[in-house]
Amino acid sequence: MSLTAPSPYSEGRPTGAYRCLRRALRIWFSLNFHHIRVLQAEKLAASGPALLVVNHPASFLDALLLIAALDRPIRCFIESALLQRPMTRAWAKGLGFIEWPDGQQEQTSAFSLSCEILRKGGAVLAFVGGQPESSNSPNTLAAAVPMIAIEAESDSPATAPLSIHLIHLHLPVAPSQSSEILVHIDRPLHAVDTSDGAAAGQQARAAAFAAEMDRACRENPFRLRVGDLAHFLTGIECAMRQDFEERWTRRPNSKQRVEDFDLSPYLVRLIHHLNYRHPGRLTALCETLRAYQEKRRGLAQIALREETAGRWYRSPIRRLAAWVETVIGGPIAAYGLLNLLPAWLGLHLGKSFRRGLWDVPAGVWMVRLIAALACYTGEIVAAALFLPRWAVGYYAPSLLASGAYLLRYLWLLKTRTNVVVASLERKRGERRLRFMRKKLIAEINRDQQRFAWPLKTVR
């Protein structure tokens, strides 16, 4: 069943059914995403013939997104392979989609219909992100877009010339935390001079326009810049080397070396393809790689602290003693801290701890000692008013002893307890790091399968 009729609008005005469906789409997208932002929307005229070329792999959901984001009614090309479900076909028919079938005769009808819509001042949208590189096949929709542009521009009247706009999309892809959809309307493209109407001339002009369109696609404003892309490729290569090294070390007779490993040209080409065709997917991979690198950096810092901890860390008995003292000494240190709370509050308000606790001049330590003694004196005097003399005799030395041990406990936490705690976390962190690396490589392999067909490269 063809989807080339009826039109969802007449003379540039959308019908009631089209407006209702578009309103429903806008409500649905607003519930699932925080915001849909159209950048440089003023470049798209509200009327007149317009050919919108989307620099993104073809998707029925993305077509619905653009219908919801753009104010003027548009007719979207959609490939037959994306219309397998009855509900999808119903939405496509209600919104006036133009089906691009597999047969040559049906494609000619869709081609003529799109030119007729543009001739009457309508807007037609087509995806070119899935076009195979260096492909000259006339049976693909992306390959037919330049011919549509040439034909429609030659037929458009001088009073309403055809405007050709390239649209870039940045869609949030898991595991990215972003929920904002960006639609960027690029500067208008222009087909070359159409004064020669010969068939060979039409083909040459279409090829020239296709080259110009591909160059504009590679200037995607959402793409990673050269330095960032090189940094990403280096990070991917390091992650894969670490994975191979871990697997190869388990094989005692393995002759493979990680020094001989380099990223395949196919994978490098795929990353560049994603960079200007699907930057949202590449952003998600960058966030996954960044999380992996941060986790690895944290584990490296823990390993460095273990190496520089000193001879005590190499002794299991002394590490166990640090654990025992941390547990047993906690109540004593808490008692000392409770007694020093008035002094600590006064010193904190006086900004005595701006330089930290340990690395301060002797004068600052003297001020702190005087404040602690003054606090102890006040507490002992207050205790003498309410407690028996024998209780005060036990209470007074406990203040000094617990206060001195509090300093010892703080030193213990800083130099030993945190090291032994981090060593326990490191083992669990290494398992987590291994899982993150496997997940990153699995996502890259999945993308190689998903986007392999647009790249005519022998792997």
- DSSP of 407-429, one letter per residue? HHHHHHIIIIIHHHHHHHHHHHH
Give the pLDDT confidence of 321-335 residue by residue, as tens digits: 999 999 999 999 999
The domains located in the chain, with CATH, are 9-217 (3.40.1130.10), 307-438 (no CATH)
**Strands lying side by side in the sheet with 75-79:** 35-39, 180-189, 163-170, 50-55, 123-127, 75-79, 98-100
Q: What is the DSSP string of 268-284?
A: HHHHHHHHHH-HHHHHH
Which H or E run contains 250?
Answer: none
| pLDDT < 70 positions in the chain | 1-14, 130-139, 157-159, 191-200, 252-256, 258, 452-459
Which H or E run contains 214?
Answer: helix 199-217
| 293-to-225, 237, 290, 300, 440 alpha-carbon distances in Å | 20, 12, 5, 10, 11
Give the pLDDT confidence of 51-110 residue by residue, as tens digits: 999 998 888 999 999 999 998 899 999 988 888 889 999 999 889 899 888 777 788 888
The gap from C-alpha 76 to its chain's centroid, in whole angstroms, comes to 28
CB neighbours of 45 closer than 8 A, spacing ≥ 6?
163
User: Which three-class secondary structure string do you get for 29-55?
Assistant: HHHHCCEEEEECHHHCCCCCCEEEEEE
- The confidence score (pLDDT) of residue 458 equals 39
- The confidence score (pLDDT) of residue 191 equals 66
| Burial status of residue 283 (CB atoms within 10 A of its CB: 0-12, 13-18, 19 or more) | buried
Amino acid (1-letter code) at residue 289: L
- The confidence score (pLDDT) of residue 422 equals 87
> pTM value?
0.74
Q: Nearest CA to 184 among 83, 339, 38?
A: 38
- The confidence score (pLDDT) of residue 69 equals 92
- The confidence score (pLDDT) of residue 454 equals 54
